Amino acid sequence: MESIQSSRRIMTGNEAVATGVKLSNVKVISAYPITPQTTIVEKLAEMVANGELDAKYIEVESEHSAMASVTASEITGVRSYTASSSHGILYMHENLHWASGMRVPIVMSVVNRAIGPPWSIWGEQTETFNQRDTGWLQIYCESNQEAMDSIILGYKIAENKKVLLPVMNMLDAFTLSHTSEPVDVRNLKTSYDYLGDLDLDFKLDFKNPAGYGSLVAPDGPFMEMRKDMRDSMYNASGLIKSEISNFNEVFDAELPGLTENFMMEDADYALITAGAISSTAKYTVRKLRERGQKVGLIRLYFYRPFPGEEILKAVRGLKGLGVVERNVSYGQRGPTFEDVVSALYRRADVPIRNYVVGLGGRDIRVKDYEKMFENLIEGDNDMEWINVAVR
């Protein structure tokens, strides 16, 4: 208890992220500030300036350049980091493909913020659901503890030679980024030993010149390289699960698997959520359980690779499943809904509904989750917008 108390600190999600970067022995940071990510890079700049973190901080004029800088530094074999949000992520989009295509194991934090217009600085996850096809692994954090741990875990998984793909770590704007709560700060030496040094088989080396990302003709290995990326991501689930177990053992941590099943054992109805909005959902599930309702929650910790097998196992016996999206897609239902339906196709016989919540920072309350469960049990809409004025 003594040692736990002494390592436990009150910190914001952004402070937890910056501490996770320090614990990961990152050597290059390049970023462009944007609300609500700003305090991550401010803290890192301060750590570099006062010598707490022995890294190079590259100031850039845009997010596009930030991603170009960390891709370049990482390909020389140096562990690199960046962070952004909202329009910054959209501006990076081209270089997100460059990073994954060059197979550089970068970790990036994204503080999920709505996309304008109309202008909004508040929480929503659309900007990263928009990036699901860029070849980055995606993690959605529920707490500041996870925000710190997922940086360290992210490098470990990204740098695994069977993966070699970048990792995007999400935390909800304000709900985590600016929320202070207790976090167990991991031991620096344990973390350094756990990650070791970055060891790339292929890197830019002046003594052994080689080209990266150059022209490949249609009969060249272009399609083979794409298939290798797809396979590396698609087949990473087993490896991620065992790495999470290993992480939990090394750090005495409590990360979930690819998903977390909350009160699912005998559940009749369940919701699927991702990120910090899951916490209030859990609170609601507990409350409804006390009233005798058999409800549960499946939380996505990883979204890419998509944990379809975990969801298949969890939904057995359910009478209804609601997929909650804090993002918006036009002309089709939500991306998570499509993924869940695809994963369960012809393998599970459960009615699935789709809910859209919390866009532009709209607060998500217990009564909103109660309404979703109510709709799940009694309703007949395929898609429901929660807490939205009807015009």
Partner 1 sequence: MYEIRFHGRGGQGAVTASKILATAAFLESKWVTSFPFFGTERRGAPVTAFTRVDDKKIELRSQIYEPDAVIVLDKSLMSIVNVTDGLKSDGVIVVNGKSGNVREAGKYRVGYVDATSIALRNGLGDPSHPIVNTAILGAFAKVSNLVSLQSIKNATSDMVPSRKKENVNAIQEAYEETEMN
Binding site for partner 1 (CB under 8 A): 10, 35, 121, 174-175, 178-182, 276-277, 279-280, 282-283, 286, 363-366
CB of 313 to partner 1, least distance (A): 24
Smaller CB distance to partner 1: residue 279 or 293?
279
- Dist CA 87 CA 166 (whole Å): 20
Token readout for 152 is 């360290």
Smaller CB distance to partner 1: residue 162 or 367?
367
CB of 297 to partner 1, least distance (A): 11
CB of 369 to partner 1, least distance (A): 10
Smaller CB distance to partner 1: residue 296 or 308?
296
Smaller CB distance to partner 1: residue 33 or 101?
33
Smaller CB distance to partner 1: residue 160 or 279?
279
Smaller CB distance to partner 1: residue 1 or 210?
1
Question: Under a CB-based contact definition with an 8 Å cutoff, are residues 41 and 57 in contact?
Answer: no
Report which of 73, 71, 107, 108 is spatially closest to residue 88, judged by C-alpha positions.
Answer: 108
Smaller CB distance to partner 1: residue 74 or 184?
184
CB of 341 to partner 1, least distance (A): 28
Beta strands in 214-351 (DSSP E): 259-262, 269-274, 295-300, 302-304, 320-325
25: which residues sit within 8 A by CB, 6+ positions away? 79, 191, 192, 195
Per the DSSP assignment, residues forming a β-bridge with 169 are: 109, 139
CB of 290 to partner 1, least distance (A): 14
Question: Residues in the chain, how many?
Answer: 391
CB of 34 to partner 1, least distance (A): 13
- Dist CA 49 CA 367 (whole Å): 46
CB of 347 to partner 1, least distance (A): 31
Cis peptide upstream of residue 351 (ω within 30 degrees of 0): no
Q: What is the chain's alpha carbon radius of gyration, rounded to the nearest angstrom?
A: 21
Token readout for 181 is 């709560």
Beta pairing, strands 302-304 & 137-140: antiparallel
Token readout for 143 is 């707490």
